[in-house]
Amino acid sequence: METDDLPDEPDYDPIIVRLVNGHNVKIAVGKFWEIPTPEDRAFGAQPHSYNAIRIYCSEGTLPLRMVQQEELREGLEYEPPLLGDIWNWLVEHTSSREWREHDSFDEFLETFTEAIERITATADDAVSHLEHLPELVEPEAFDRVDDSVFNDQNEPIDSKEQPR
């Protein structure tokens, strides 16, 4: 595999910040290599690169030592065109007062994943498929049978059978 065939590496400087509890967090974007296991190599798997956001933290480890805690792969957890929006949110979030409200790494990670979901849900192409769904324009095209026929929701309540 030649390196010319690989996509360009994203160009983002790592963000390093400190949580309220004193632990450091480092967020980096880059191209990483996945080395197959010997079992996978036996089936012909080759090393390949992928882009990802990696999050490192010193929480739960020795002082001054960071360990990879989370990896968000491009194409799985986020789409490539959204990386800029995600990174902009990270830069704004880590430089604001909101950052100082995180008491633990898990709390930050929860906020970050919610932000990725929100960015993904509000992306331009996230709702473009709605234009093609017939049930939004013609409800009969989606639900051909009127369900109210099969229940008594439209019938008046008989005075003798009132609910208790």
Our measurement of the distance from residue 145's CA atom to the centroid of its chain's CA atoms, rounded to an integer in Å, reads 37
Nearest to 113 by CA among 139, 80, 78: 78
Task: Tell me the two tokens of residue 32.
Answer: 């990483």
Residues 10 and 29: their CA atoms lie apart, in Å, by 7
Confirm whether 94 is domain-assigned: yes
Q: Tell me the average pLDDT across 3-16.
A: 64
Give the model's pLDDT for residue 3. 44
Q: How many CB atoms lie within 10 A of CB 113?
A: 13
Q: Tell me the average pLDDT across 15-21.
A: 87
Give the model's pLDDT for residue 77. 86
Q: What is the pTM of this model?
A: 0.64
Confirm whether 21 is domain-assigned: yes
Confirm whether 161 is domain-assigned: no
Confirm whether 159 is domain-assigned: no
**75-101: pLDDT as tens digits:** 888 888 888 899 999 999 888 887 777
Total domains in the fold of the chain: 1
53 bridge partner residues: 29, 72
**Structural domain of 132:** 3-153
Burial of 112 (0-12, 13-18, 19+ CB in 10 A): buried
